[in-house]
Amino acid sequence: MLPGELFLSVAIGLVIGLIVLLVLQLIASARMRGLTDPVFEYARMKARAEADRILNEAQEKARTIVAETAMRGAELLEEQRADVGKRTDIYQKNLEAFTEHTHAAMEENAKKARAEQIKIAEAIAKEMQAQGEEIKARVSHIEKDLSSFLHDAEAQTRDIRATFEDQSKRAGADMKELLEKATTEGKKRIDERIELFLTEARKEVDAYREGRKRIIDEHMADLVAETSKVVLGKALTPDDHADLVTRALEEAKRTGML
């Protein structure tokens, strides 16, 4: 046998041997799988059961958390509602207190305005009365002066007349002419004095009238304003007030304030 043939025979023998070993290995593997499959199946089933249990527990916990959150949310909402209710009550009470306070303040203002009005009216009346008294005294004084003057004039006339009568008895017709002349002059002097007194009396009356007008002018606006405030504050409806507000704004626009 040649060396080449020997080498070939050995190689073939090795290949055949390897094939035989491979077949034996496959048979052994098939037998091992047949023995180990139930164990793997058991382990897999157990793992799945464990996973299901964990999943169920997680879902249960999640449901519990959701339910607790919902309940807590409802409680918080209820608390908020109760808080809003309390705040609304406090707001109502504050509003009522404020309304009462405003009403009281308005009443107080009305009282003050009324008192101020009475005070102004009394001051005017007092001043007018004082001036009236003064004028009355002056007029009375003038009347007395006039009466005294007339009395004196009459006495003088009587004296002159007596003198002239005496003289007429002594002087005759010429004396009569003198008597008439003196009478005329006396009458003229009386008329002049009367006219003078009347002029002064007229001046006094005019001064009194002007004084009274001045007092009225000075206090009239205040009196009217205070009176109107008292009256308008009570007599006007809210709609009337709203109309006046609009009118005031229109005036402001017209005069360039707005």
The tokens describing 258, both together, are: 């707005």
Give the CA distances from residue 165 to residues 155, 174, 187, 202, 225, in Å, rounded to whole numbers and listed in that order: 15, 11, 18, 39, 73
Q: Is 211 in the site for another protein (CB under 8 A)?
A: no
Which of 36, 59, 64, 228 binds another protein (CB under 8 A)? It is: 228
Closest contact distance (angstroms) between CB of 121 and another protein is: 14
- Which residues, numbered 61-80, are part of the site for another protein (CB under 8 A)? 73, 77
Q: How many residues bind another protein (CB under 8 A)?
A: 36
Residue 89 corresponds to which tokens in the numbers above? 């009550």
Residue 224 binds to another protein (criterion: CB under 8 A)? yes
Under the binding rule (CB under 8 A), the answer on residue 126 touching another protein is no
Looking at beta carbons, which pairs linking 22-28 to residues 24 or more positions away fall under 8 Å? none
CA distance 239 to 250: 17
Backbone angles phi, psi at 208, to 5 degrees: -60, -45
- Tokens 């023995």 belong to 35
User: Which DSSP symbol is given to 257?
Assistant: -
246 contributes a contact to another protein by CB under 8 A: yes
What DSSP letter does each residue of 182-197 carry, written as one string? HHHHHHHHHHHHHHHH
| Region of 103-111, 117-125, 146-154, 159-167 interacting with another protein (CB under 8 A) | 103-111
Q: Per rule CB under 8 A, is residue 111 in the interface with another protein?
A: no
Residues in contact with another protein, shown as a per-residue x/- string from 18 to 57 under the rule CB under 8 A: ----------------------------------------
Name the one range near another protein by CB under 8 A: 24-32, 44-52, 170-178, 223-231: 223-231
Q: Does 84 bind another protein (CB under 8 A)?
A: yes
Place of tokens 């002018």: 217
Q: How far is the CB of 216 from another protein (least distance, A)?
A: 5
> Closest distance between another protein and the C-beta of residue 163, in Å?
51
109 touches another protein by CB under 8 A: yes
Structure tokens at 79: 């608390």
Taking CB under 8 A as the binding criterion, the range among 17-25, 55-63, 143-151, 210-218 that sits at the site for another protein is 210-218
Q: What is the DSSP letter of 111?
A: H
Q: Which of 121, 238, 117, 158 is nearest to 246 (CA)?
A: 238
CA distance 134 to 204: 10
Residue 78 contacts residue 191 (beta carbons within 8 Å): no
Q: Which residues lie near another protein (CB under 8 A)?
A: 73, 77, 84, 102, 105-106, 109, 209, 212-213, 216-217, 220-221, 224-225, 228-229, 232-233, 236, 238-239, 241-242, 244-249, 251-253, 257-258
